[in-house]
Amino acid sequence: MSQSEQITVQEAARLLGRSTEQVRRYLREGKLEGTRIGGQWFIDRKRTETFRRDLSSPRAFLLEIAPARIADPLGATIGIGSGGRSDLSLGQAAYRESFRWRQRR
Amino acid sequence: MSEHLLAAFVDASALVALADSGDATHAGAVAAYEQLREGGYRLFTTEYAITEAYELLRLSLGNDLARSWLAKLEIARYHLDEADIARAHHRLVTDDRLASRSLTDALNITAMERLGVHDAFAVDAGFPVDSIG
């Protein structure tokens, strides 16, 4: 981390034009990096300014996504079933072909 | 964009490979997913990729499991706007690298370009990640 000034959630909220609740959510979900000391968040000012610029860019969408390490967005779908013999590395057409018998039923 | 932000597009082939434990790519896909998680990536996809994956899973796993998969899917979706879609159509008819690819691929590549994302999670070797401008 750089040696930039550390600011509080209240100051970050002012900088970002967001509520303090929203800033705490960003921190909890890992969207904005901060350090928690004695129950209080401290955030690098330069990082907060970069985050503010990003929020107004087309890529703001990405900032609203929690890192997969935290969100595990596909975890509940892993191994949900077994189709049988197939190999997706050969392409989707080959995958479809593996199950063509099912289409004919 | 912050230099700390890592993001990857998840293609339909990866969505299916994770779900279908009978596919030859399943174990590799699970390992890759864990690497992306450990690496701090943010993952997203599009409704086009989800539609494609859903249709494949209906075929391989059947309607009930495909529906269950859809219900459990929590990944972020990027919604292309009219300009994105027009650009994807234009790319598909003018870019020879996409000549053999689907409209879905063109739409997904356009989403990646719009977001400035260069990493894709796909198990289909044909995913045209080299077409991203």
Helices (H), ranges, chain B: 12-19, 26-38, 47-61, 63-72, 82-94, 103-115
Residues linked to residue B87 through DSSP beta bridges, in sequence order: none
Closest CA to B17 of A70, A6, A80, A5: A80
Q: Tell me, yes or no, if A72 comes closer than 8 A to chain B by beta carbon.
A: yes
Chain A residue nearest residue B1, CA to CA: A54
Which of B18, B75, B124 is nearest residue A92 as measured by Cβ atoms?
B124
- Determine the distance in angstroms separating the CA of A24 from the nearest CA of chain B, rounded to an integer: 18
Domain ranges in chain B?
7-124
Which of B5, B123, B126 is nearest residue A62 as measured by Cβ atoms?
B5
Supply the pTM of this predicted model: 0.79
Question: pLDDT tens, A65-91?
Answer: 999 999 999 999 999 999 988 999 999
Q: Tell me, yes or no, if A1 comes closer than 8 A to chain B by beta carbon.
A: no
- Residues in chain A closer than 8 A to B116 (CB atoms): 58-59
**What order of strands is seen across the sheet that includes strand B76-77?**
B76-77, B41-45, B6-10, B119-121
The answer to whether B68 contacts A80, with C-beta atoms less than 8 Å apart, is yes
Q: What are phi and psi of A34, to 5 degrees?
A: -155, 175
Q: Which fold has domain B7-124?
A: Rossmann fold (3.40.50)
Residues linked to residue A37 through DSSP beta bridges, in sequence order: A40
Q: Tell me, yes or no, if B41 comes closer than 8 A to chain A by beta carbon.
A: yes
The answer to whether A83 contacts B38, with C-beta atoms less than 8 Å apart, is no
- Determine the distance in angstroms separating the CA of B80 from the nearest CA of chain A, rounded to an integer: 11
The answer to whether A76 contacts B72, with C-beta atoms less than 8 Å apart, is yes
Q: Tell me, yes or no, if A80 comes closer than 8 A to chain B by beta carbon.
A: yes
CA distances B2 to A2, A14, B7, B126, Å, are 13, 20, 11, 30
Which of B2, B10, B36 is nearest residue A51 as measured by Cβ atoms?
B2
| Per-residue pLDDT in tens (0 to 9) along chain B, 133 residues | 445 689 999 999 999 999 999 999 999 999 999 999 999 999 999 999 999 999 999 999 999 999 999 999 999 999 998 888 999 999 899 988 888 888 999 999 999 998 999 999 999 876 766 655 5
Q: Tell me the C-alpha distance between A83 and A2, whole Å.
A: 50
Question: pLDDT tens, A37-56?
Answer: 998 999 999 999 988 887 87
- Residues in chain A closer than 8 A to B26 (CB atoms): 79
Are B129 and B8 in contact, with CB atoms under 8 Å apart? no
The structure tokens 């990405």 sit at A62
